[in-house]
């Protein structure tokens, strides 16, 4: 299947709410949180869209001054295992690199093994643990970091 990556917009909100609920259950972002995030400054949110317009996945990155943060990443259950998560993550990292940022951080719940596998395979390292980070579950979060090398071919 051909999937297109494109910037997320408010027209995607309904599909993103469904995706959030499917992927994160009671810890899903609310409509207001989704809308604030996809329209907020210093952020890049991308959706992976099927040819029929269905949003199969999405992810976002917040760009700080010298550090970026992966805010979320989710792929619909039926579309997993086909490389979409990696495509989205690579595109978010590319956004950070293009902004001249040299490190990408993220938090991931300690029981999300597919996500941890994806981040490790993308070069992220485990650099810390945040106790009781997610609510209401109380799950702990790994803190992970990817160091980017400056690419002289990319304008800073
Ligand atoms: C994490 C998630 C986005 C991965 O999406 P995906 O499209 O299935 O991932 P991909 O097919 O691109 O897989 C890329 C890599 O992730 C890792 N991975 C994927 N599924 C995995 C699994 N079940 N177990 C371990 N590693 C896995 C592998 O390293 C894989 O590379 P490989 O195919 O070369 O082995 C998806 O499982 C998801 O949405 N999970 C629920 C939400 C979530 O946990 N989000 C992260 C919040 S921080």
pLDDT tens sequence across 6-62: 999 999 999 999 999 999 999 999 999 999 999 999 999 999 999 999 999 999 999
CATH number for the domain formed by residue range(s) 4-147: 3.40.630.30
What pLDDT does residue 156 have?
A: 40
**From 37, 107, 125, 134, the catalytic residue:** 107
The token pair at 110 is 């300690």
C-alpha of residue 117 to centroid of ligand 1, in Å:
7
| pLDDT reading at 155 higher than 50 | no
Give the model confidence (pLDDT) of 51-105 as tens digits.
Answer: 999 999 999 999 999 999 999 999 999 999 999 999 999 999 999 999 999 999 9
107 is catalytic: yes
What pLDDT does residue 1 have?
A: 75
**Residue 46 burial class via C-beta count within 10 angstroms: exposed 0-12, middle 13-18, buried 19 and up:** buried
Q: What atom of ligand 1 comes closest to residue 57's alpha carbon?
A: 39
146 forms beta bridges with 104
Write down the domain spans for the chain: 4-147
**Residue 40: count of CB within 10 angstroms of its CB:** 12
**Residue 117 CB less than 6 A away from ligand 1:** yes
119 is catalytic: yes
Strands 43-49 and 4-7: antiparallel
Q: What atom of ligand 1 comes closest to residue 120's alpha carbon?
A: 29
């Amino acid at each position: 299947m051909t999937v297109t990556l494109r910037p997320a917009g408010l027209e995607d909100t309904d599909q993103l709410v469904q995706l959030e609920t499917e992927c994160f259950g009671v810890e899903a972002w609310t409509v207001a949180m989704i809308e604030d995030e996809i329209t907020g400054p210093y952020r890049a949110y991308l959706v992976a869209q099927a040819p029929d317009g269905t949003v199969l996945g999405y992810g976002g990155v917040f760009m700080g001054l010298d550090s970026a943060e992966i805010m979320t990443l989710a792929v619909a259950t039926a579309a997993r295992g086909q490389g979409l998560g990696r495509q989205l993550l690579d595109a978010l990292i590319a956004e950070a690199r293009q902004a001249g940022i040299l490190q990408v951080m993220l938090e991931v719940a300690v029981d999300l093994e597919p996500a941890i596998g994806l981040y490790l395979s993308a070069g992220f390292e485990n650099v810390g643990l945040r106790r009781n980070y997610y609510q209401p579950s109380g799950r702990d979060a790994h803190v992970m970091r990817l160091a980017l090398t400056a690419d002289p071919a990319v304008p800073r």
